[in-house]
Structure formats: C-alpha cells, structure tokens
Amino acid sequence: MEEKNLREFMLKENEEFRKLHQQHQKYEKDLEKFKEKSYLTEEEKLKEKELKKKKLALKDKMYYLMKEYRKSQG
C-alpha cells in the first residue's frame, strides 16, 4: 500500500494514529502563527523550537505505527 493510501487508511481505522495526526495538525497551526510574525521574541523562538520538536516526534510515532501495520500485513 502506498504511503498516502496507508496514511488515509490509518486515519480511518486506527484511533491512536488519528489522535497523533490531530495533535500534529494542531502544532502545525500553532507554528503558522509564528511564521506570520516578522519578529520573534526569545520566548517565542524557544516555543517555536519546542513545537517543531514535538511535531517531529509525533511524525516519527505515526511513521512507526505505519511501519508496524505494514509488518503485520506480511
């Protein structure tokens, strides 16, 4: 199954994957707010960096779940 199709399938069928995806989307939306600003305070820079790390961790977890699903399908 192609990655895009598998992601869509997992969103429908796997609650954990769906929750991770929703949180990932929330972090993306939060990061967009920082991109709109022409200047970030030091506190905002730290928050942005933290959000990027959290978002990446969620992405890693989602890819892990996809990998495990592929393994289980033989």
Domain positions in the chain: 3-69
What pLDDT does 12 receive? 97
| Long-range CB contacts for residues 45-52, cutoff 8 Å, separation at least 24 | 51/27
What pLDDT does 1 receive? 80
What pLDDT does 74 receive? 77
- Select from 60, 47, 53, 50 the least CA-distant residue to 20: 60
Cβ contact 9:3 at 8 Å: no
Cβ contact 30:51 at 8 Å: yes
What pLDDT does 70 receive? 95
Q: pTM above 0.75?
A: yes
Q: Can you give the pLDDT of all 74 residues of the chain as single tens digits?
A: 899 999 999 999 999 999 999 999 999 999 999 999 999 999 999 999 999 999 999 999 999 999 999 999 97
* Integer CA distances (angstroms), 48 to 30, 32, 42, 44, 58, in order: 9, 10, 10, 6, 15
